[in-house]
Amino acid sequence: MSQELNGSQTPTNPAKEVVNLKRKDYLNWDDYFMATALLSAKRSKDPSTQVGACIVDTQKRIVAIGYNGFPRGCSDDAFSWSKPSDGISTDPLEHKYMYVVHAEANAILNSNGTSLVGTRLYTTLFPCNECAKLIIQSGVKEVYYMSDKYAEKPTFRGSKRMFDAAGISYKRYTPTRKQVIINFDEIIQEELNISLDMKALKM
């Protein structure tokens, strides 16, 4: 028996199945933002610890990224990446700590005037006390970190104390996958294969 539709009804076909080719292994948001922080860290020239940070707004838009490096104009060839434990020099002016801008600080500076109020910061290393001050003052509300390897150092204990007082939440991030691979070669090869296929088809 056929049914008549009145003005407020729309025709539906419950028997029809939607063929959905949506990928299943796409990156989830958190892995994507932490991977962005990790990719950013790859820009760092620090020989011992490369740090990356990525700041994301409530609409899941990346508003800033940064990594640890020397300030603009302070060339990596003129300033040293050594540190006291290297035994190269005892002069603090020869150590990286005097000059390096931390990843989180660089990310905040790179936000270029965009409000960071209510944002979330993904960082590959827990923020130090100096970065914690900037994070708090710029309005970042949440911190996701990968490593807390310096947790026992007073500067890192100090940041937790400030975060607790300021109501900033901080959480160690556990990725949902083992790796994110970016294989330039594979992409180039795929394009070569396609153009070879096209040529073969024309012949």
Ligand X SMILES: Nc1ccn([C@H]2C[C@H](O)[C@@H](COP(=O)(O)O)O2)c(=O)n1
What would the 3-class secondary structure string for the chain be? CCCCCCCCCCCCCCCCCCCCCCCCCCCCHHHHHHHHHHHHHCCCCCCCCCCEEEEECCCCCEEEEEECECCCCCCCCCCCCCCHHHCCCCCHHHCHHHCCECHHHHHHHHCCCCCCCCCEEEEEECCCHHHHHHHHHHCCCEEEEEECCCCCCHHHHHHHHHHHHHCCEEEECCCCCCCCCCCHHHHHHHHHHHHHHHHHHHC
- Give dist(CA 185, CA 43) in Å, integer: 20
Report the residue number, 36 or 123, with the smaller CB distance to Zn ion.
Answer: 123
Partner that binds at residue 51, options ligand X, Zn ion, none, CB closer than 5 to 8 Å by kind: ligand X
Partner that binds at residue 140, options Zn ion, ligand X, none, CB closer than 5 to 8 Å by kind: none
Is residue 104 within 8 A of residue 120, CB to CB? The reply is no
Q: Which of 104, 130, 142, 190 is labelled catalytic? A: 104
Handedness of CA 128, 133, 137, 141 (dihedral sign): positive
Q: Which of 38, 56, 131, 168 lies at the binding interface for Zn ion (CB under 5 A)? A: 131
Q: Is 96 in the site for Zn ion (CB under 5 A)?
A: no
Choose one: 19-27, 122-130, 159-167, 195-203; the region binding Zn ion (CB under 5 A): 122-130
The mark string for 45-84 relative to ligand X (x by CB under 6 A, - otherwise) is -x-xx-x----------------x--------------x-
Q: Is 120 in the site for ligand X (CB under 6 A)?
A: no
Q: Which of 131, 135, 140, 143 lies at the binding interface for ligand X (CB under 6 A)? A: 131
Annotated active-site residue 104? The verdict is: yes
Partner that binds at residue 125, options ligand X, Zn ion, none, CB closer than 5 to 8 Å by kind: ligand X
Report the residue number, 27 or 141, with the smaller CB distance to ligand X.
Answer: 141
Q: Is 38 in the site for ligand X (CB under 6 A)?
A: no
- Contacts to ligand X by CB under 6 A: 46, 48-49, 51, 68, 83, 96, 100, 102-104, 125, 127-128, 131
- Contacts to Zn ion by CB under 5 A: 102, 128, 131
